[in-house]
């Protein structure tokens, strides 16, 4: 469960303790499709930013971090996550990819480095992939390289995203350092209870991505009648209810916004709670469905190796 602490300015924030013993702030700023990732204001309020080489914004995120540090924030109080993209999922590419990420972010270590998706793609792979674009993935070899990064203090924690229980069990069968964090799509429209339980059982902290239902073709949870009803009752915004729901489920979460007022809104979730009855009501939203099912990235219906999204998710949904 989240632990409450006070910032030097007397603001209440909540954190989760990872397997490694390190603390992770419960809410971070997402940066996928972000138009203002250099926003130091966001860095000052969140203290936790989630980015990835694939998002193409690491240089801007780095500028924001630098400005926040210049404004007096201690690097040690920031939590910076990035991710290893699918084209770099071979052992000899792990370290150069991390060094490139550190260079773009102007940092000498990351707090958390994640495998972005457990599928290796050929450089220049198409969307959807052509025959030969999805390659074999040496999970053990890649994880050993990730473990070396921890031992060399280049990253404090390592973890995974978009894993299934099958892939998690495979990883745990050889991991010398267990993943501290598993980042998965989770919101009231896709609770993914099975994966949350599997992670809890192994002491792995879960970060819920797309907590608001994501963007563009995502799921409009902001206007879901149940979410709106709870928000109205608690005098909070739908966005705040969705972020708070994630925290009360024991997950950290990383909402993204391009708007200052929403960024501010999404972090003001620490001095109130969703009553149990309303929390449970939010857990009953029907039509459970992923937004990010991986189809565009990994499915080739005729040439495989993944011919359907069910293949991508090991037929566990
Ligand atoms: P979110 O669920 O965070 O939703 C973002 C959308 O919600 C945007 O359209 C945003 O619009 C809108 N929004 C934000 N705040 C509010 C608010 N208070 N009220 C109403 N609307 C709001 O989507 P993401 O898919 O971006 O997920 C969050 C982060 O998770 C990503 O940015 C990324 O860092 C991470 N992620 C990781 C993945 C992985 O594979 N590991 C996959 C997907 C996401 P606007 O910007 O206009 O405010
Ligand atoms: C293509 C990247 C999905 C968001 O993390």
The pLDDT tens digits of the residues spanning 2-17 come to: 888 766 566 778 999 9
Query: Could you tell me if the CB of 81 is within 6 A of ligand 1?
Result: no
Ligand 2 atom closest to the Cα of residue 292 is 3
Q: Give the pLDDT band (50/70/90) at residue 217.
A: confident
pLDDT in tens, 294-306: 999 999 999 989 9
Task: Say what the pLDDT of residue 36 is.
Answer: 78
32 CA from centroid of ligand 2 (Å): 7
Task: Say what the pLDDT of residue 41 is.
Answer: 64
Residues 6+ apart with CB under 8 A from 138: 89, 90, 91
Return the exposure string of 78-103: e unless at least 16 CB atoms fall within 10 Å of the residue's CB, then b: bbbbbbbbbbbbbeebbbebbeebbe
184 CA from centroid of ligand 1 (Å): 13
pTM of the entire structure? 0.98
Residue 310 has pLDDT above 70, yes or no: yes
Among positive and negative, which fits the CA dihedral 49, 52, 58, 60? Answer: negative
Task: Say what the pLDDT of residue 290 is.
Answer: 97
The share of the chain scoring above pLDDT 70, in percent, equals 98
Q: Are 5 and 144 in contact (CB under 8 A)?
A: no
Ligand 1 atom closest to the Cα of residue 31 is 32
Q: Which ligand is nearest to the CA of 117?
A: 1
Share of the chain residues as helix, strand and coil, in percent rounded to the nearest 5:
40, 20, 45
Task: Say what the pLDDT of residue 106 is.
Answer: 97
- Has 116 been labeled as part of a binding site? yes
Task: Say what the pLDDT of residue 1 is.
Answer: 81
Q: Per the residue annotation, which of 55, 109, 113, 209 is the catalytic one?
A: 55
55 is catalytic: yes
Return the exposure string of 2-40: e unless at least 16 CB atoms fall within 10 Å of the residue's CB, then b: beeeeeeeeeebbbbebbbeeebbbbbbbbbebebbbbb
132 CA from centroid of ligand 1 (Å): 32
Task: Say what the pLDDT of residue 4 is.
Answer: 83
Query: Could you tell me if the CB of 224 is within 6 A of ligand 1?
Result: no
């Amino acid at each position: 469960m989240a632990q409450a602490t006070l910032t030097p300015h007397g603001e209440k924030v909540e954190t989760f303790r990872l397997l490694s013993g390190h603390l992770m702030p419960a809410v971070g700023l997402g940066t996928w499709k972000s138009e203002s990732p250099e926003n130091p204001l966001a860095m000052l309020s969140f203290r936790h930013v989630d980015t990835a080489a694939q998002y193409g914004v690491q240089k801007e995120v780095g500028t924001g971090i630098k400005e926040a540090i210049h404004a007096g924030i201690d690097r040690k109080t920031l939590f910076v996550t990035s991710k290893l993209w699918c084209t770099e999922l071979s052992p000899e590419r792990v370290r150069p990819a991390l060094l490139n990420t550190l260079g773009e972010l102007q940092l000498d270590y990351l707090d958390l480095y994640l495998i972005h998706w457990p599928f290796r793609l050929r450089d220049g792979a198409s969307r959807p992939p052509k025959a030969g674009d999805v390659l074999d993935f040496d999970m053990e070899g890649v994880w050993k390289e990730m473990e070396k990064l921890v031992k060399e203090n280049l990253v404090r924690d390592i973890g995974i995203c978009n894993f299934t229980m099958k892939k998690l069990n495979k990883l745990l069968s050889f991991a010398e350092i267990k993943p501290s964090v598993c980042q998965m799509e989770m919101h009231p429209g896709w609770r993914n209870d099975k994966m949350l339980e599997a992670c809890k059982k192994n002491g792995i902290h879960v970060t819920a991505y797309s907590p608001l239902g994501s963007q563009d073709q995502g799921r409009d949870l902001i206007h879901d009648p149940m979410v709106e009803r709870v928000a109205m009752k608690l005098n909070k915004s739908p966005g705040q209810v969705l972020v708070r729901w994630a925290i009360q489920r024991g997950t950290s979460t990383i909402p993204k916004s391009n708007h200052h007022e929403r960024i501010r809104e999404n972090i003001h979730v620490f001095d109130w709670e969703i009553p149990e009855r309303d929390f449970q009501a939010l857990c009953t939203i029907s039509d459970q469905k992923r937004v990010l099912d991986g189809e565009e990235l990994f499915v080739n219906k005729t040439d495989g190796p993944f011919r359907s999204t069910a293949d991508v998710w090991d037929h566990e949904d």
